[in-house]
């Protein structure tokens, strides 16, 4: 994208402010996990710096699981501006009995929009220790409840919850969807 996706403007707010607003309606506590503190203090919620710097989204998952007080934690990247509470509740309903609940879109895991139990922490740490930083690498070592196909469509009828801002073209499209 060429710049920090957290600060892309969508309507009258940044993508990160939009996510904080949406998530605050679904959870009693919301935290930001980031590589750098710059700017996030304006959001008036706790901000944590990655415990393992320069380890990408996997490092964020690690920090989230290492610092949570909850059995399961919802993790979402700042570049998913159309996530909604209905989708989150649907995923949450599938958590009991599993280490992780992860959507799969076109057979590709979406590990940065998923629920994780603290039981995932050893597998995450093993990946980090081996410097295997792709977020989905640890999933083969935990009990994952995959959400895909018709089940994913049922939780996200609009198909927008997993819309991701990866490119300038994605951002341009997101601006037309507001």
Task: Tell me the per-residue pLDDT of 97-111, one tens digit each, with 9 for 90 and over.
Answer: 999 999 999 999 999
- Predicted TM-score of the model (pTM): 0.95
In this prediction, residue 1 carries a pLDDT of 78
Residue 20: pLDDT above 90?
Answer: yes
Q: What is the CATH number of the domain that holds 108?
A: 3.90.550.10
Instruction: Give the C-alpha separation, 137 to 74, whole Å.
Output: 18
Q: If DSSP codes are grouped into helix, strand and coil, which group holds residue 86?
A: helix
Number of separate domains in the chain: 1
- State the pLDDT at residue 178: 86
**8 has a pLDDT exceeding 90:** yes
Residue that has been written with the tokens 């601006």 in this structure: 175
Nearest CA-CA partner of 61 in 24, 31, 27, 90: 31
| CA–CA distance, 49 with 34 (Å, rounded to integer) | 5
List the domain range (segments joined by +) for residue 117.
Answer: 5-177
Residue 32 confidence (pLDDT)? 97
Which tens digits make up the pLDDT trace of 117-171? 999 999 999 999 999 999 999 999 999 999 999 999 999 999 999 999 999 999 9
15 to 7, 40, 87, 98, 116: CA distances (angstroms) = 6, 12, 18, 30, 23
């Amino acid at each position: 994208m060429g710049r920090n996706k957290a600060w892309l403007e969508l309507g009258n707010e940044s993508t990160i402010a939009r996510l904080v607003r949406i998530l605050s309606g679904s959870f009693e506590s919301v935290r930001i996990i980031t590589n750098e503190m710059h700017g996030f203090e304006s959001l008036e919620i706790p901000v944590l710096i990655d415990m393992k710097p320069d380890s990408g989204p996997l490092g964020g998952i690690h920090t989230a699981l290492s610092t949570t007080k909850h059995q399961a934690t919802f993790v979402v990247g700042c570049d998913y501006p159309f996530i909604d509470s209905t989708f989150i509740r649907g995923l949450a309903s599938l958590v009991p009995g599993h280490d992780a609940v992860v959507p799969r879109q076109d057979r590709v895991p979406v590990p940065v929009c998923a629920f994780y139990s603290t039981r995932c922490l050893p597998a995450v740490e093993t990946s980090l220790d081996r410097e295997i930083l792709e977020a989905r690498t640890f999933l083969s070592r935990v009990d994952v409840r995959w959400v895909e196909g018709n089940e994913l469509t049922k939780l996200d009828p609009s198909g927008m919850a997993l819309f991701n801002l990866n490119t300038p073209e994605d951002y341009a499209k997101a601006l037309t969807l507001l």
